[in-house]
Structure 1
């Protein structure tokens, strides 16, 4: 059985939208989006189609399972989706397209000196990271952990968390979340 609320939330987060932004685009209320994501209500067919259109997903993709003969296995740089956040001094590359339909979501985040990732609130799941270049400070519920090139981090995502680059060079991190949250 498909968890429609979970999939809608994952797609919204994957598009870097708040509940309010999504609601505004659909002329709905933030409360209604929250109820959908928590499976407290079900959308009408028309509302679901509108939601999927705004979130950039075809109906058959939303309801399909990732397994199967035609599932893509290898992804190249041309498949990646990149989003720069100049305010935070970071760039995220989604390195597996449509990862929201999978159990894990890997990204590569590049953080400029003095920059940081978005601050993530507590959420269900686990996160793993491997520092490819530079050094970052993992802030996990106000506790700071320095993670250097070649080192990894792993934690339950049930506390506020984010990465900072307090160094003088660019930091690149392979970061994987389960379930997909980026």
Structure 2
């Protein structure tokens, strides 16, 4: 596939509105509570977390009060500032059969995080504290991760359905069903769905950040 210098569309769909169907683990109520709780345990004020994560205190306050979904880069910045990885925000008290714990994730027990614009990640691996993690990622038509971001680790993916665009550094790739990719997470990257149907991607990652990562994840 030949890389090109194409840039992502300038316009973005409006952020999705939180709804009553998102109160399960990974929904806005759950996510906002975890951000606020971890910030307080770290002894940080809203202003301090905002400065460290390069976001505004008002925006973080909206997230904590469950008035908005985060973007993928924003959640990455918050997680990094709090000493965890994105997948930490997938954690919950979901009941798992004793024989499954640490080994198996049943389809109905997948933990989920919703981002602005309707992007949804479901955690497929049962031990978020391990280095290797897999996500089932769904991108509605016209949704993008917005600006490029980078972090420790490596990533790979397989497009299950739909159209998918990927930027890694200065390279641009168009992918479709059956295509796969991999790259170093330390390279600035962004991605999105240019199509008219949902894009579904099986997303894998190896995080090399040392042990303070409690449990990982994507604006």
Which TM bucket (shorter chain)? 0.5 to 0.7
Structure 1 residues 37 and 82, CA gap change in structure 2 (3 angstroms): closer
Give the 5 Å matches for 1:145-160. Answer: 145-160=173-188
TM normalised by structure 1 equals 0.61
Structure 1 residues 35 and 25, CA gap change in structure 2 (3 angstroms): closer
Rounded Cα–Cα distance in structure 1 between residues aligned with 2:201 and 2:112 = 14
Equivalent residue for 2:119, pick from 81, 90, 106? 90
Task: Name structure 2 gaps, 5 residues minimum.
Answer: 1-30, 53-78, 94-98, 209-215
Is 1:139 aligned with 2:155? no
Is 1:110 aligned with 2:138? yes
Rounded Cα–Cα distance in structure 1 between residues aligned with 2:106 and 2:38 = 30
1:79 corresponding residue in structure 2: 109
Cα displacement string for residues 140-173 of structure 1 (whole angstroms, at most 9, x for unaligned residues): 1243211110010111111121221001111000
1:179 corresponding residue in structure 2: 207
Rounded Cα–Cα distance in structure 2 between residues aligned with 1:177 and 1:141 = 18
Larger RCO (alpha carbons 8 Å, 6+ apart): 2
TM normalised by structure 2 equals 0.52
Offset, 1:22:
4.3
1:44 corresponding residue in structure 2: none
Rounded Cα–Cα distance in structure 2 between residues aligned with 1:16 and 1:145 = 34
Three-state SS of the structure 2 residue aligned to 1:145 is: strand
Give the 5 Å matches for 1:32-71. Answer: 37=83
Aligned residues of 2:122 and 2:137 also touching (Cα < 8 A): yes
Structure 1 residues 119 and 82, CA gap change in structure 2 (3 angstroms): farther
Aligned residues of 2:39 and 2:82 also touching (Cα < 8 A): no
